[in-house]
Amino acid sequence: MDDPWVRLVAEQLRIVGLVHEAFDADEIAGDLADRTALNDSLDELIAEAGPEPDPIAFDLRWGE
């Protein structure tokens, strides 16, 4: 719990109402770091796409 990142996660858990022994801040902090790294891998894809892609994703009317 000395790790500031783990302390932040513990605080976040409390803020969103996830208060239960099932939530281990240490373990969750590690998982979030992995997920953030995976998500950051999208930066390159988005940058290469040129003008900032609109987050509205679906384009299902190709004939129009």
Partner 1 sequence: MRASVAEAAAAIRSGQTTSRALTEASLESAERLQADLAAFVVTDPEGALAAAEEADLAVAEGRDLGPLMGIPVAVKDIVDVAGLPTRCGSKTYSGGAVSTDATLTRRLKQGGAVIIGKTTAHELACGVYSSPASNPWSTDRIPGGSSGGSGAAVAAGIVPLAIGSDTGGSIRIPAALCGVVGLKPTYGRVSRAGVEPLSWSLDHLGPLASTVEGCASALEVMAGRDPADRSTADLAAPTLLDVSERGVEGLRLGVLTRAPFDPMQPAVEEVMAAATERLGESGATMVAVSIPELEHTLAAEFGIVGPEAGAHHRERLQARPDLIDPGIRALLVAGLLLPAEQYIKSLRARGVISQAIKRAFLGHRLDALLSPTLPATAAEKDQDELVFESVAEPVTLSYVRTTAPFNLSGLPAMSVPAGLDHQGLPIGLQIAAAPFDESMLVRIGRHFEQLSGFLELVPPCHADGGAA
Residues of this chain that bind partner 1 (CB under 8 A): 9, 12-13, 16-23, 28, 31-32, 35-36, 38-39, 41-43, 45-46, 49, 52-62
Q: Which is nearer to partner 1, 2 or 17 (CB)?
A: 17
Shortest Å distance, C-beta 44 to partner 1 = 8
CB-hemisphere CA count at 13 Å for 29? Answer: 15
CB of 2 to partner 1, least distance (A): 20
Residues contacting residue 28 through CB under 8 Å, at least 6 positions apart: 9, 13
The Cα–Cα gap between 20 and 14 comes to 9
